[in-house]
């Protein structure tokens, strides 16, 4: 128990020396790159040949020990990172499947489709998020954030999309985190999705909602599309105030631009149906009615 935690702590520190080495390699060409290498080879060579100085001999041993340790630890950390990346990728893949499932919605099969989507989402949590949680348990969440962030964002997207279709409301960060709490060991700090990943996931959600809205419109569910439209507008309006305060603001800025495009796409689709609806409606009804006489009152 103690051992593993000690290795753990070392793991956290391991990349540092590695980074130093990188510095040496990427330093200005010529002098800086060559110098350390010749120095070390000189030291080991002379130590092996003959050792007029026992201290030097001892130190060369320390050096190789330290090198091995660094190598070993960096492998450990990299392995862990690899596993986290892999777990995150699985979360992404399966969350995407949930999103596709939600898009299969149509007028008549709403309950059924959403039920399946929720079941799939629960499976994502049980199988993949739990693996991610286990990998990250006891580690600093921020340290490996880059490795798991894409998966978490995708999961946020899927969970909020499902919830919106079911309840018409936004799933809060606290609610998501509360649902993930049972996954982690109660003795350690539980995995909590951070604000940034949640917001980035929300930004992506609007793109999915745009697709959903367009699909609903072509299916004739105008009210649902309207509901999506005002929901997305609201999210865009709120995120606009938050976006410049986020850590990677430039990344978020492009997402905001895309989001505005999505909002406008939904608005334009609603507009087209609203205006041109006066042509479709009489068509479905009796054939000999005047378009504008029937069309206009229908819209009001």
Partner 1 sequence: MAAGDSASHSPHSPAVRSLEKQFQEFRHQLDDSGSLRERIRSVAADIESAARVMHSSLLLIHQSRSIPEVFKKAKALIGVLIELYGKLAEIMGERPGQYYRYHGDWRSETQTVVSLLAFMHWLETESLLLHAEAEEKLGLKSLEFGLDIEDYLVGICFMSNDLPRYVVNQVTAGNYDCPRKVLKFLTDVHAAFRMLNLRNDFLRKKFDGMKYDLRRVEEVHYDVKIRGLTMKGNSTEKQGNGGRS
Which residues, numbered 274-293, are part of the site for partner 1 (CB under 8 A)? 274-276, 278-279, 291-292
* Cβ-based nearer residue to partner 1, 238 or 248: 238
DSSP string, the chain: -HHHHHHHHHHHHTHHHHHHHHHHHHSSTTHHHHHHHHHHHHHHHHHHH--S-HHHHHHHHHHHHHHHHHHHHHHHHHHHHHHHHHHHHHHHHHHHHHHHHHHT--SS-HHHHHHHHHHHHHHIIIIIIHHHHHHHTTS-TTTTHHHHHHHHHHHHHHHHHHHHHHHSSPPPHHHHHHHHGGGS-TTSPPP---HHHHHHHHHHHHHHHHHHHHHHHHTT-HHHHHHHHHHHHHHHHHHHHHGGGSTTHHHHHHHHHHHHHHHHHHHHHHHHHHHHHHHHHHHHS-SSS-HHHHHHHHH-
Site for partner 1 contains 46 (CB under 8 A): no
Chain positions 241 to 280 lying near partner 1, rule: CB under 8 A, are: 241, 244, 264, 267-268, 270-272, 274-276, 278-279
- Map residues 174-213 to x or -, x wherever contact with partner 1 holds by CB under 8 A: ----------------------------------------
Between 13 and 264, whose beta carbon lies closer to partner 1?
264
Dmax (CA) of the chain: 112
Q: Please, which residue, 247 or 300, has the CB nearer to partner 1?
A: 300
Cβ closer to partner 1: 98 or 203? Answer: 203
Tell me the closest approach of the beta carbon of residue 228 to partner 1, in angstroms.
13
Work out how close the CB of 146 gets to partner 1 at its nearest, in angstroms, rounded to a whole number. 28
Rank residues 219 and 267 by Cβ distance to partner 1 and give the closer one: 267
To partner 1, the closest distance from the beta carbon of 15 in angstroms equals 35
Nearer residue to partner 1 within complex by CB, 41 or 254? 254
| In the complex, minimum distance from the CB of residue 172 to partner 1, in angstroms, rounded to a whole number | 20
Q: How many CB atoms lie within 10 A of CB 292?
A: 11
Around Cβ 104, how many Cβ atoms within 10 Å?
A: 13
Tell the smallest beta-carbon distance from residue 263 to partner 1 (Å).
8
Minimum CB separation of residue 209 from partner 1 in Å reads 16
Distance of closest approach, residue 280 Cβ to partner 1, in angstroms: 12
- Contact between 21 and 33 under an 8 Å Cβ cutoff? The reply is no
Minimum Å gap between C-beta 100 and partner 1 is 29
300 forms part of the interface with partner 1 (CB under 8 A):
yes
Nearer to partner 1, 76 or 294 (CB): 294
Q: Rule CB under 8 A: which residues touch partner 1? A: 230, 233, 236-238, 240-241, 244, 264, 267-268, 270-272, 274-276, 278-279, 291-292, 295-296, 299-300
């Amino acid at each position: 128990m103690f051992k593993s935690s000690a290795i753990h702590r070392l793991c956290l520190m391991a990349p540092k020396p590695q980074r130093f080495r990188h510095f040496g390699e990427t330093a200005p060409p010529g002098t800086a790159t060559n110098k350390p290498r010749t120095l070390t080879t000189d030291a080991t060579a002379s130590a092996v040949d003959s050792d007029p100085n026992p201290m030097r001999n001892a130190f060369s041993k320390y050096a190789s020990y330290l090198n091995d340790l660094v190598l070993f630890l960096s492998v450990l950390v990299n392995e862990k990172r690899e596993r986290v990346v892999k777990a995150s990728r699985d979360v992404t893949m399966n969350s995407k499947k949930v999103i596709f499932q939600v898009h299969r919605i149509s007028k008549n099969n709403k309950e059924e489709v959403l039920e399946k989507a929720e079941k799939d989402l629960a499976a994502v949590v049980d199988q993949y998020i739990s693996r991610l949680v286990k990998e990250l348990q006891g580690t600093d969440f921020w340290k490996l954030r880059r490795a798991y962030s894409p998966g978490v964002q995708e999961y946020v997207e899927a969970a909020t999309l499902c919830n919106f279709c079911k309840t018409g409301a936004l799933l809060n960060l606290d609610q998501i985190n509360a649902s993930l709490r049972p996954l982690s060991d109660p003795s350690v700090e539980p995995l909590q999705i951070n604000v940034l990943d949640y917001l980035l996931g929300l930004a992506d959600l609007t793109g999915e909602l745009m697709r959903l809205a367009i699909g609903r419109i072509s299916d004739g569910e105008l009210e649902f599309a309207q509901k999506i439209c005002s929901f997305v507008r609201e999210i865009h309006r709120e995120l606009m105030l938050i976006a410049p305060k986020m850590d990677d603001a430039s990344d978020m800025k492009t997402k905001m631009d895309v989001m505005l495009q999505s909002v406008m796409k939904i608005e334009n689709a609603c507009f087209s149906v609203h205006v041109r609806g006066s042509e479709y409606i009489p068509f479905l009804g009796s054939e000999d009615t005047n378009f504008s006489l029937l069309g206009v009152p229908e819209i009001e």
